[in-house]
Structure formats: C-alpha cells, structure tokens
Amino acid sequence: MRIDVVTIFPDYLAPLSLSLPGKAQASGLLDLRVHDLRNWAHDRHRTVDDTPYGGGAGMVMKPEPWGAALDAITASPPSADPAVDSPVDPPADSRADSRTGGQVPLLVVPTPAGEPFTQRMAAQLARRPWLIFACGRYEGIDQRVVDDAAGSMDVREVSIGDYVLNGGEAAALVVTEAVVRLLPGFMGNASSLAEESHGDAGLLEYPVYTKPPTWRGHDVPPVLLTGDHGRIAAWRCAESLRRTAERRPDLLPATATVALDGVEVTPVLATRADAGELWTLQQACWLVEALANDTLDIPALHEDLEDVVEGLHEWRTYVVREGARLIASVRGRLDGDTWHVGRLMVAPDLRGRGIGRHLLAFVEGQAPPNARRCELFTGAGSADNLRMYRRAGYRPVRDQPADAGVRLLAKRLQ
C-alpha cells in the first residue's frame, strides 16, 4: 500500500517510522511518503492560509498550494519514481486516469465534520492500494480543494471523534495505524484481528490475563486455568457481551425486533446454555427436510449435542425466543470474503410467518465488513427454501457440489 501525507508539519508523522508501521515500511508492505505543503506555496513567506470569505475568526487553508500538491503527488502513481516532493507544474490534463497509473487514489481529509472513522472504515481503507491524507490546520481547507479532487479521485472526509484537534496530523496517524495493521501479512497472527474489539463479532473484547495466576490478591478467573477450550470460549463470549452491554450498548447487534404474525422476533447471540434446545430444533427441522428430500443422509440429523456445542464455537449463532421457548436460529461464519450462512431454522409450527426471511436478512446484515458474498446450502428437494432464497436474491453457483441432492446458492453483498 502507498500512503502519502500532506501537512505543514512533516515531523509530526515521524512516529510512523517506529514500531509496526515502521517494520511494514522496512518490509516493503507500506510505501509511506510525507510531503510538506509549503513546498507548493510560491510566495516569499510560503503562505498556505488566508482570511475566510464571509468573515469570522481564524484562517482558512488556501486552495492553490493544495491543488498543486495533489496534482504533483497523483502525477507519480505507486509504480512510478518516488521523488515528487518538489513543486512541479500541473500537467495539462490534470484529471486523466493515466496520471495515476490506473490506480485511483483515495483522498482522506480529516475533519471533525467528517463521517466517523470506524473499524469497518479501516477495513475498507485497507483494501485500497493508495491513500492520500490532506492534513488541515487553522479553520480547515478551502472546500473547493475537496470538491475539485472528487473529480479525479475518491474522497472521504473523516472524523476520528467528536472533539476538535488543532490539525489533521494526529488523525492521519490514527487512521494509518488502524489501516496498516489490517494489511495482509502485517500481523503475525491474523486471527487475533477477528477476535478483538470491533472485530467480526462487532463486540468489545473480553478481559485478558497473563501470568502470574494471583497478583496483589487478584486472581485470574478460574475458568481460564481449566484448559477446557469449550468453557473458556463460552466464558469469553459471555464477558464480551456483558462488557459491551455495560460500556457500549450501541454496539450490540441490531436486534431488529419485529413482530411477525403475532410472534416477536429478536435475534440474540446464542450461548452454551442454548445448545440443548438448538439440538432439539435441529432434529425437528431436518426431519422435515429429510421428508422433503427423501433422504436421511443429512449431516445436521446425525449430529450429537457435542457437535452442536462445537458449532457454537465455530460459528456466530443467533437464536430467537418466544417467551422461554427457543423457536428459531441461524448462524454465519466468515471464510475469506465469503460469509457462510447455515442452519436457518424455524420451529415447524411457526413457519409461514416470515420468521425465516427476517432471520436470513438479519444474518446477512451481521456479515463482517470484508465479506463480499453470502453462500448457503439447501436441499435440492426443499422447494419452499429454494423459493425463499431466490426471493432473497440467492442464485445457484456455477460449480455445484458433487452431491446432486444439495444446492449451493450465493448472493453478492453490497
């Protein structure tokens, strides 16, 4: 990934050569270039600001140095010569794609008036080959710079929080660090990304501990010392939910409660305590499938309770209760850029009310930001399911499984 940062305080970005971002540069994963905006200011004092039209306090950054800086930087796309940190005359066709070597940069403009920066946005930015940060100072940058840049590159005005800083440099540091650690090959253990706060589950991380087991009279929670991976995973899941509910209830999965034909449907994350009822529901639902497909050779029918518990660890499973009764469930799991949807179940006596359709839309909405498509299996003889999936936008994939009794369906995510 190439990152260009334009600022009037280039030294502010020095921390990016430390620690992991520094290593990413050393390993060639990151090509970071910091530019002094004043190199594109042509008067004796190298002025980059002026008084605001319409009056008011403070100064506004002038458009000319910014326009010249962005023209010069984009004239040297990632594959080209790195030496651009000097004033150049803008090329005649300053908007031609060929100037960016076909790689359209994304201009990130830090501003407290921007869209909030989130982990989801970090993942989106990490997929871009080229970011350019325009660090404002004073009262900000003349708006025409952003409007003009939008003609030749993608632009996002981004806020790192609901407070006001003196300049965009700290925001550029924050965004860069969050983005660069998501680059493939940056983190030694990529799975730690999925488990941490704001990761795939969209929850805060559970508390973490290391040795010694007792410190200043405080014990590590005993379950973590048991070596029982199932119990540890269940404890972590429960702690994640508890912390999120306490500190950031706004992050809890959009429970999207809807009343469907008298049944209130509120999907919540399943826990170990749901396993017994899930197993029962699974048996009931797949018996119906067995009849529709005229076969007992369906894996879900042959699972035992242990398998169901295992599934809770391997998948993000949601359940719906009506009162105390578990009436429906669905689960999702990310593999590469595919969000696998499975075990969509509604109690047989409650079918036909739209609960399955609602759960399907719900689980699609839980797909992590890097998921590009949803995939699911259904029985070739499951006419109702095939109809529902078709209406929801699923289509058979070209390479179908060898088992002719099964259909693999997929849908592209927005």
- Closer residue to ligand SAM in complex, CB, 179/312: 179
Which of 10, 21, 140, 253 touches ligand SAM (CB under 6 A)? 140
- Closer residue to ligand SAM in complex, CB, 165/284: 165
Stretches 2-10, 157-165, 209-217, 265-273: which one binds ligand SAM (CB under 6 A)? 157-165
Which of 82, 102, 116, 161 touches ligand SAM (CB under 6 A)? 161
- Closer residue to ligand SAM in complex, CB, 159/266: 159
Which of 135, 145, 341, 409 touches ligand SAM (CB under 6 A)? 135
Q: Which of residues 100-119 bind ligand SAM (CB under 6 A)?
A: 110-113
- Closer residue to ligand SAM in complex, CB, 110/311: 110
Contact call for residue 234 and ligand SAM (CB under 6 A): no
Stretches 46-54, 164-172, 201-209, 317-325: which one binds ligand SAM (CB under 6 A)? 164-172
Q: Which of residues 165-194 bind ligand SAM (CB under 6 A)?
A: 165-168, 171
- Closer residue to ligand SAM in complex, CB, 73/109: 109
Contact call for residue 65 and ligand SAM (CB under 6 A): no
Contact call for residue 139 and ligand SAM (CB under 6 A): yes
Contact call for residue 156 and ligand SAM (CB under 6 A): no
Q: Mind spelling out the 3-state secondary structure of the chain?
A: CEEEEEECCHHHHHHHHCHHHHHHHHCCCCEEEEEEHHHHCCCCCCCCEECCCCCCCCCEECHHHHHHHHHHHHCCCCCCCCCCCCCCCCCCCCCCHHHHCCCCCEEEEEEEEEEECCHHHHHHHHCCCEEEEECCCCCCECHHHHHHHCCCCEEEEEECCCCCCCCCHHHHHHHHHHHHCCCCCCCCCCHHHHHCCCCCCCCCCCCCCCCCCEECCEECCHHHHCCCHHHHHHHHHHHHHHHHHHHCHHHCCCCCCEEECCEEECCEECCHHHHHHHHHHHHHHHHHHHHHHCCCCCHHHHCCHHHHHHHHHHCEEEEEEECCEEEEEEEEEEECCEEEEEEEEECHHHCCCCHHHHHHHHHHHCCCCCCCEEEEEEECCCHHHHHHHHHCCCEECCCCCCCCCEEEEEEECC
Contact call for residue 402 and ligand SAM (CB under 6 A): no
Tell me the number of residues near ligand SAM by CB under 6 A.
Answer: 19
Which of 35, 137, 156, 316 touches ligand SAM (CB under 6 A)? 137
- Closer residue to ligand SAM in complex, CB, 105/311: 105
- Closer residue to ligand SAM in complex, CB, 59/290: 59
Stretches 18-26, 162-170, 243-251, 380-388: which one binds ligand SAM (CB under 6 A)? 162-170
CA dihedral in degrees (348, 379, 335, 192; nearest 10)? Answer: 30
Contact call for residue 57 and ligand SAM (CB under 6 A): no
Contact call for residue 159 and ligand SAM (CB under 6 A): yes
- List contacts with ligand SAM (CB under 6 A): 110-113, 135-137, 139-140, 159-161, 163-168, 171
